[in-house]
Structure 1
């Protein structure tokens, strides 16, 4: 069943992301059909390839739902499906490392748990500490939204409880950049799942080079779009900060760059203003001149 979203409901900032995600979805379908046809052509297959096809089908289902939910600004619901994609991607990446892992996945018989714990998969797949921490942090954020963890704040609930007071952030709900993040996250997971499937197909000697090039080019388009919008959003944040609140360190940073710790302090300061109008902005490097 195809659901058509009225054009007037789609933010103009999101159209380009929807188009790229839909292109990735078409590529996912092509990866699926290409791997099946090539496997039949050379009469070769293996358990890990079967698993990749199963996960690919689930991925395509999730993509349609995520696209609809994010467009309608139901981002917390989309978080649940994104978390599902992350877990499927980790499984498939681990299976692609060794055919023995496919046997473990297929022989799994415990209903209350998956074949491997998430922490084990992270440690097995990511050796570099920075990348490992980034992956774990990303998973944690979507997990808090899924499980309704109060520490997730506005990512978990439409209303946040802060200092035992209710905080409704309408600006966040209307910001197209919030939705852009979810579309990009979806694209990243789709790219990685397709890439893992193609890695397994390559191990069998399947001819998948052409579809692999198409996947890489399309994901590069998405990555550049996201980089541009991230930079633009950071510039908007910098320009929205009043000059007296910038410390001498921040003022010395070249134009077009930002001192991220200062932005974090600015965010905390503005939130505190909701509850205490007399609160003062604090920065250890800032000395206000009389």
Structure 2
């Protein structure tokens, strides 16, 4: 089912992301049709490919809902479905490693749990510690939103309880860049699920080069688009930050650059200012002007 989003609801800065996600959805459908076509030509398949098809169909449902929810400004609800995409992607990546994993998935008979814990999948799939940390951190953020964890703050609730007081983010409804991050995350998960299904198909000798090339081209476009908007957002933050948060004497930040950890410290500082009149900006590299 295709849902038409009224044009008046679409932020012009988000329209390009909507187009890219829709193009990735189109390529996903192309992958499915090519898999079916190649299976008839080669007359060869395996359980892991069946699972890939099942997961891709569910992924298309999720991504359509995510797109609608983000456009309507319901990012917390979208994060629940993004978590679903991540978990399906991890399952499929693990299944692609070994055909016996597909049998384990298909033979699973426990209603209260999945075949594998997410922590096990992360450790099995990401041997590089930096990649593992990044994946786990991303999953944790969406998970806090899904489970309404109070530690998630404004990512879990529209109003945050901090220091026994209520903190309302007045800029949230107009947070275009946050929506961009969610669209990018959605696009990444679509790409990864498609890419893994293509790998399984290639193992069977299916000719998937043309659709694979289309997938890579649109994903590289998405990455470039996100990199550009991320840089623009950081530059905007840089020019709008007042001293002493960014001090001309700060030895940690070369001219023309911004240190991300410094931005995080500034975020903490602004939150403290809400509740503490004498809040101090703390940074080991910060030097007070004399």
Superposition TM-score tier, normalisation by shorter sequence: over 0.9
Counterpart of 1:100 in structure 2 is 100
- Give 1:175 deviation, angstroms: 1.2
The CA distance in 2 between the partners of 1:262 and 1:86, in whole Å, is 30
**2 CA distance for matches of 1:151 and 1:161?**
9
How far apart, in 2, do the equivalents of 1:199 and 1:81 lie?
Answer: 24
Is structure 2 residue 64 aligned with structure 1 residue 55?
no
TM-score, normalization by structure 2: 0.97
Matches within 5 A, 1:1-290: 1-247=1-247, 248-249=249-250, 252-255=253-256, 257-290=257-290
5+ residue gaps, structure 1? none
Asked if the contact 1:250/1:259 (under 8 Å) is kept, the reply is: no
TM-score of the two chains, using structure 1 as the length reference: 0.97
Task: Could you list the structure 1 runs, at least 4 aligned residues long, displaced by more than 4 angstroms after superposition.
Answer: none
C-alpha separation between the residues in 2 aligned to 1:127 and 1:201? 25
> Once the 2 structures are TM-superposed, how far is the Cα of residue 169 of structure 1 from its aligned partner?
0.6
1:198·1:212 contact (CA, 8 Å) conserved in 2? Answer: yes
For residue 285 of structure 1, give the secondary structure of its aligned residue in structure 2. coil
C-alpha deviation, 1:252, in angstroms: 4.9
Q: Tell me the C-alpha RMSD between the 2 structures.
A: 1.2
Q: SS of the counterpart of 2:271?
A: helix
Q: Which moved more, 1:238-247 or 1:130-139?
A: 238-247
CA distance in 2, matches of 1:53, 1:60: 11
Contact 1:250 1:258 in 2 (8 A): no
- Structure 2 residues without counterparts, runs of 5 or longer: none
How far apart, CA to CA, are the structure 1 residues paired with 2:169 and 2:289? 33
Deviates more, 1:270-279 or 1:19-28: 270-279
Q: Deviations over 1:31-68 (max 9, x none)?
A: 01111111111111110111000001000000110000
**Secondary structure, aligned partner of 1:38:** helix
Q: Deviations over 1:134-184 (max 9, x none)?
A: 000111111110000000111110001111110011213311000000000
Would you say how many aligned residue pairs link Structure 1 and Structure 2? 289
1:250–1:262 contact (8 Å) kept in structure 2: no
